[in-house]
Amino acid sequence: MGNPGFWDDEQNSTKVVKQLKSLKSAVEPWEGSLQKYQELKELADILKSEDKEFIDDLEKNVSLLGASVDKLEFNTLLGGDFDKNNAILSINSGAGGTESCDWAQMLYRMYSRFSEKHGYGIKTIDVLFGEEAGIKNITALIEGDYAYGYLKAERGVHRLVRISPFDANKRRHTSFASVDIIPEVEEGVDLKIEEKDLRIDVFRSSGAGGQSVNTTDSAVRITHIPTGIIAQCQNERSQYQNKQVALKILKARIYELEMKKKEEQLKQYGAEKKKIEWGSQIRSYVMHPYSMVKDHRTGHETGDVSKVMDGGLDDFIEAYLKAQKLKK
């Protein structure tokens, strides 16, 4: 960064500054914890005091240091190639009409609350509302350090069991929704998309009705002809912005497809990969006849359904990441 002309290349300088910030975020907390440990050790060795207030203060600082080290240890679980990237979240309601659409919306609220608690930004890219309530499918961009690293644990089918608010007879219903998480692909990734392989359609954005309807043909749908992958965006202000966001989503999905192909090739060497498909739910949320959320991959469970639905996913994510590390 100190070299002459470094700031002349805006694209490269931005990339290097981002890399520096990432490295500092890894190194500085560790150095700070080490320094704190050395200070506390020196205090404990020098001051052989029986003073209760001193001992209580020392124990409090040791406890705080332990919490910091636990957090640093957890960060080592986020060492994947794209774990630091932003995440692209897609939620699709399953069979079941209004019930599943409502469940999909509940899940989106859960991930929105999780993002808020972690200081992430979340922006809706595309949404298709249900006919009566809820959403049929939604795509959103979650921006923040390690957003993908955390949320990749959520990929799969989520199952809800509850007394339906839409059933006059108050019967118990089971609903399904699939959640997909892929990393936002940065410009530096080697992935070439030919213009001739794209079909770009422009259409009118949908809205909730009344004045909120966008009456211009600004929504954009892009189809990658060779793979059939589709990405669309309708929530930006202009057609150009919608196109740029849709291209970003398309690139991420194509890259994810390439990675899955490589994973399939690794199966012959014993690599275990679980398919994302209906009937293979990763987690169940039971609200009746008892309260429980259970992850079927790790066995982790809790009876506090409200906390989980309010974005309290950290324990489930940590259990999943630790289990994945043990497998390796």
pLDDT of residue 190 exceeding 80:
no
Average pLDDT value over all residues in the chain = 85
Which tens digits make up the pLDDT trace of 177-188? 999 999 988 765
Tokens (6 digits) for 192? 């070439």
Contact indicator for 101, 137 with CB cutoff of 8 Å? no
pLDDT of residue 271 exceeding 70:
no
- Torsions phi, psi of 100, nearest 5? -70, -35
Find, among 152, 41, 161, 43, the residue nearest to 87 by Cα: 152
Cβ contacts of residue 87 below 8 Å, gap of 6+? 141, 142, 147, 148, 150, 151, 152, 181, 182, 183, 184
pLDDT at site 206: 64
**132-139: average pLDDT:** 92
pLDDT at site 204: 79
Which tens digits make up the pLDDT trace of 57-70? 889 999 999 988 98
pLDDT at site 275: 42
Q: How confident is the model at residue 52 (pLDDT cuts 50, 70, 90)?
A: confident
DSSP labels for 260-296? HHHHHHHGGGT-------TT-EEEEEE-SSS-EEEET
The SS3 assignment for 190 reads coil
Residue of 50 and 215 predicted with greater confidence:
50
- Helix, strand, coil distribution of the chain in percent, nearest 5: 45, 25, 30
pLDDT at site 100: 93
pLDDT of residue 73 exceeding 80:
yes
**For a pLDDT cut of 90, what percent of the chain falls above it?**
48
pTM: predicted TM-score of the whole model, two decimal places:
0.75
